[in-house]
Amino acid sequence: MQATKRMTVPETVLAVMRKTNELFHTEVVTKKNFDALDRIYTANARILPPGAPMVEGREHIKSFWKQAIAAMGATSVKLTTVDAEAAGDSVVEVGRADLTVAGGQVVTVKYVVQWKQEDGTWKWHVDIWNPNQ
Tell me the HSE value of 52 on the side-chain side, using a 13 A CA sphere.
Answer: 15
Q: How far apart are CA 26 and CA 76, in angstroms?
A: 8
Show the DSSP H helices in the chain as ranges.
11-23, 58-72
Binding site residues, a second copy, CB under 8 A? 1-4, 44, 46, 48-54, 56, 82, 85-90, 92, 94, 110-112, 114, 126, 128-133
Q: Which is nearer to a second copy, 43 or 102 (CB)?
A: 43
Q: Which is nearer to a second copy, 88 or 103 (CB)?
A: 88
Q: How far is the CB of 84 from a second copy (least distance, A)?
A: 11
Q: How far is the CB of 26 from a second copy (least distance, A)?
A: 26
Going across the sheet that includes 55-56, the strands are 55-56, 41-48, 121-131, 106-118, 90-100, 76-87
Q: How far is the CB of 25 from a second copy (least distance, A)?
A: 21
Q: Which is nearer to a second copy, 14 or 82 (CB)?
A: 82
Q: Which is nearer to a second copy, 34 or 111 (CB)?
A: 111
Q: How far apart are CA 16 and CA 32, in angstroms?
A: 22
